[in-house]
């Protein structure tokens, strides 16, 4: 056996649902690493030569399952999550999901959990635009822990929402709160923007997580603030993320989080 063959990276087959701004970034990151091969499911874009010769386009969820990926990354939308993720989990394929806001639908959550138990598959919730989920989950094991998540973005990210609430003039004077309440309702109202809030709620528990959505003219980056209070102590985390150039409501780091979560599943250290 030659040294080259002994050290050759094993092929790692990753299914990718969606090839928009986030999906393209995920593909680029994974294909920059040796050994990864992608099956990209998209019906709205032609991947062409954008994903290189280690990627192929797949036009249906049945085709993606038949391709037998080791893991699937959902990088599309809450609707795509609801339509396609259960099929992957039912086939025994783990899924790293970007659109965790879809889980604000209690019926969808109630359907997915038994599938995972029965098929020994896993729905992996990446950190996305935030961090510290391990700390939050640990603190939340104490029943008296409470978590507040604040999404703070420039008014330009909320133009239509500000107008519909009649706050166009108020926001020129300072920060305005567009929503304050529970995580499920926040994700329902802002399905493309509040994945981070639901991610935190999944770690802390919905009953002890409060979400605030703020349009703030003083910030120029997507900002996430997490405040944790309880008998185990107090913590505050703040993340200032560069917006994705192709979608300012999404943080650029989101794609890197999806890629990191995927790569970690193949690693020796978990």
pLDDT of amino acid 203 = 96
Q: What is the pLDDT of residue 3?
A: 46
Question: What is the mean pLDDT of the segment spanning 260-270?
Answer: 93
The CATH number of the structural domain formed by 3-124 is 3.40.50.720
Kindly report, as residue ranges, where domains of CATH 3.30.360.10 are found in the chain: 133-250
Torsion of CA 15, 18, 21, 27, to 10 degrees: 10
Q: What percent of the chain is modeled with pLDDT above 70?
A: 94
Residue 213: strand pairing partners: 151, 179
**Which of the residues 122, 142, 224, 229 is marked catalytic?**
224
For the entire predicted model, the pTM comes to 0.89
- Split at pLDDT 50, 70, 90, the class of 8 is low
Q: What is the pLDDT of residues 31-61, one digit of tens each?
A: 999 999 999 999 776 776 656 689 999 999 9
pLDDT digits (tens, 9 = 90+) for 128-156: 999 999 999 999 999 999 999 999 998 98
Using alpha carbons, list the distances in angstroms from residue 53 to 12, 15, 43, 71: 15, 15, 19, 19
Provide the pairing of β-strand 123-124 with 94-97. Answer: parallel
For 154-179, what is the mean pLDDT? 94
Where are the strands (E) in 171-245, listed by range? Answer: 176-182, 209-215, 222-230, 233-241, 243-244
Architecture (CATH level 2) of domain 133-250: 2-Layer Sandwich (3.30)
The predicted structure's pLDDT at residue 178: 96
Active site residue 224: yes
User: What pLDDT, on a 0 to 100 scale, did the predictor assign at position 43?
Assistant: 77
């Amino acid at each position: 056996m030659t040294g080259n063959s002994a050290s050759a990276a094993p092929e790692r087959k990753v299914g990718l649902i969606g090839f928009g701004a986030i999906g393209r970034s995920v593909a680029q990151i994974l294909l920059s690493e040796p050994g990864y091969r992608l099956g990209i499911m998209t019906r709205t874009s032609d991947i062409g030569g954008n994903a290189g010769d280690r990627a192929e386009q797949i036009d249906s969820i049945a085709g993606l399952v038949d391709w037998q990926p080791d893991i699937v990354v959902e990088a599309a939308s809450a609707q795509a999550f609801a339509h396609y993720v259960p099929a992957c989990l039912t086939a025994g394929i783990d899924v790293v999901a970007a659109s965790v806001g879809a889980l604000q639908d209690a019926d969808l959550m109630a359907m997915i959990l038994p599938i995972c138990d029965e098929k020994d598959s896993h729905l992996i919730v990446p950190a996305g635009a935030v961090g510290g989920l391990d700390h939050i989950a640990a603190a939340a094991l104490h029943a008296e822990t409470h978590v507040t998540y604040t999404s703070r973005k420039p008014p330009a990210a909320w133009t239509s929402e500000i107008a519909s609430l009649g706050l166009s003039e108020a926001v020129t004077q300072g920060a305005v709160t567009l929503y304050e309440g529970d995580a499920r309702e926040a994700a329902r109202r802002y399905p493309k923007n509040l994945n981070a809030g639901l991610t935190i709620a999944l770690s802390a528990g919905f009953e002890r997580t409060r979400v605030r959505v703020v349009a703030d003219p003083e910030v120029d980056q997507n900002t996430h603030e997490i405040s944790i209070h309880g008998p185990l102590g107090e913590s505050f985390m703040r993340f200032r993320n560069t917006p994705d150039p192709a979608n300012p409501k999404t943080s650029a780091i989101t794609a890197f989080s999806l890629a990191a979560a995927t790569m970690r599943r193949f690693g020796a250290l978990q």
